[in-house]
Amino acid sequence: MKEHECDEGTACAIDYTKEAPSKETISFNKEYIVPAISFVFLAAGILMDHFGFSFFRVPVSIIYFGIIFIAVGGPIVLKALKLIAKGDIYNEFVLMSIATIGAFLIGSYAEGVSVMLFYVVGELFQESAVNKAKRSIEALLKVQVEEVLVFENGSYVIKHPKDVNIDQVIQTRPGEKIALDGILVSESASLNAAALTGESAPDSIKKGDAVLAGMVNLNRPIQIKVTSKYENTKLSKILKLVQEAVGKKAKTQQLISRLAKIYTPIVFWLAIALMVIPYFFLGDAYIFQTWFQRALIFLVISCPCALVISIPLGYFGGIGAGSRNGILFKGSNYLDLMTKVDTVVMDKTGTLTKGVFEVKNVVVASSEKEIDKNLLIELAAVLESNSTHPIANAIVKYANLDHNKWKSTSVKEISGHGMKGKVGEYEILAGNTKLLDKYKITYDKQLSSITDTIVVIAINNNYAGYITIADVLKEDAKIAIAELKKIEKVKDIVMLSGDKQLVVDKIAKQLGLTKAIGGLLPEDKIKEVEKLKTQGKTIAFVGDGINDAPVIALSDVGMAMGGLGSDAAIETADVIIQTDQPSKIATAIHIGNATNKIIWQNIYLALGVKILVLILGAFGLATMWEAVIADVGVALLAILNAVRIQRMDFSN
């Protein structure tokens, strides 16, 4: 934490943008010095050799090029020797070392140095590209706070967030990031949640509202009551998923890795065969140096650098592009899966709608003479205060309860139906009409014609009235559906909801959905997805609640709204939309398609050029220079192609 001179109630400006250069950056830049100097001396040596300077002959030329080779290729040869000592001889380091040292043995000094130099430059380009892809991911990893002010024994002390307990109060000053999840104790706050949601617009919250680690306090110092330990904050969980993401390889990546292990020993022995077998057919016409040179050229060409470098880099770039767009892919395998999705299934509340409900109307049943609107809403609110559902929160907020007046007991939440319990002397049921059907309570059948979401109330086993609740579509919900419809492979867009069919149909009509099914329990959603899977469809399911977790796990690609979604949904999902924007579903598919396209371009490029030049080299029609171009040149082209994904615009 930086030192500030601003006291509580005093705003102060803090510049978090200035950071000392990392050791990694400094080290990375220094690595270019030796190859750059070596290139200058190599070019000078080639010119002296070409113009036939009298002094530049053996042994001077050998010593000259040898020094350059040791400078640039020494670490590679040393690594090759270490691997050979461990019994690993079939790798790119050994191949490059044998080929380049062999070039010296046949007098191709400049060619040997060139092969090694371009290989090292290719490795540096690869590292540069990987670092570029890492930046967007590492930017997220820097969000965590290392120090926090904790209120203890009447004053604030500095602690590491790991040492802060639940229910302790922490203070966050203007410009600082919030260290832990909690509840706002101060009267109000203005926060920037860009690190979590990608949206930089300030979010104004009030006392009692939830705040998340990673948000930035914009105005006055605020106090927060901690609700989660450091390791259990939503931010910590997301960061852990980010760090694990790169380790999960796609099938294409795994295939290339397996092929490289088989491919390398095959070409190694083919090179030896190319050198030895012609002796038995040519007899006295066999010239060892000629076939030895061809074998070396064959080895240089066959080195699988382009494949083993560019393909993981392509997937890494795809994960980085997703992170930049507020989408976390938990592994490169999910980038591949996104390309196969033909059916997108979405939950309604919290996914397509904001999930921020407001009470519109309270209606008392005409048969109830002793119950008025105030009593109905109070009883319902006391019962619903035991639930964290957005609809329950809306009712509690609207009632503005005095908790000393009523107490709830024997409360039971009936999944997909509602709540049951005792409030004072009243037995209360609050939920959908299925709840009343379950307890065989007669109610006004005209309720089924109301298009708004309703919570039906029964008091002492008698229908007492209902509360209408309003939810609104997310700003980009229509854009989300429109963008999905543009994707050729996506044939069906389905919405599943526990809300009644009239409400679901109304939203489906507004958005232009293929299909919308309402009145579903969590287990019903599973059945609907299973039904689609039996039809051979590849399904991406998008949800945000705890009840969505089983369906997210069941689908081919599970997607969760990560900004405000439940921990269960986030941990179960394969892809997390940190911005809570449904339009990012299409963006995720676009990133998957772009990554897949680049990966296969690199595979075709690398294999096509290598096979062609291998054939030419075997017949003596390719020199060491063509080998250099086929190996390092193709690797560089593949790397540059893979880097393209990080420059693409995936915004809708």
Residues designated as active site: 347
Cα dihedral across residues 151, 156, 162, 163: positive or negative = negative
Which residue from 230, 224, 196, 198 is spatially nearest to 211, judged by alpha carbons?
224
User: Is the omega angle on the peptide bond into residue 59 within 30 degrees of 0, that is, cis?
Assistant: yes
DSSP 239: H
- The distance from CA 547 to its chain's CA centroid, rounded to whole angstroms, is 22
Q: In Å, how far are 248, 342, 549, 571 from 552, measured between CA atoms? A: 19, 16, 5, 10
- The distance from CA 542 to its chain's CA centroid, rounded to whole angstroms, is 15
Bridge partner list, 421: 428
Unique residue bearing structure tokens 């209120």: 151
Torsions phi, psi for 172 (to 5 deg): -120, 125
Single-letter amino acid, residue 356:
V
The two tokens of residue 485 are 């419809």
DSSP 163: G
The Cβ-side half-sphere exposure at 424, using a 13 Å CA radius, reads: 14
Give the C-alpha separation, 532 to 228, whole Å.
38
Which residue from 347, 351, 428, 424 is spatially nearest to 387, judged by alpha carbons?
428
The two tokens of residue 365 are 């049943």
Which residue from 298, 375, 277 is spatially nearest to 102, judged by alpha carbons?
298
Give the C-alpha separation, 14 to 550, whole Å.
44
The two tokens of residue 356 are 């921020």
Give the C-alpha separation, 405 to 320, whole Å.
54
Single-letter amino acid, residue 413:
E
The two tokens of residue 87 are 């019994």
DSSP 390-450: HHHHHHHHHHT--TTT--EEEEEEETTTEEEEEETTEEEEEE-HHHHHHTT----GGGGG-
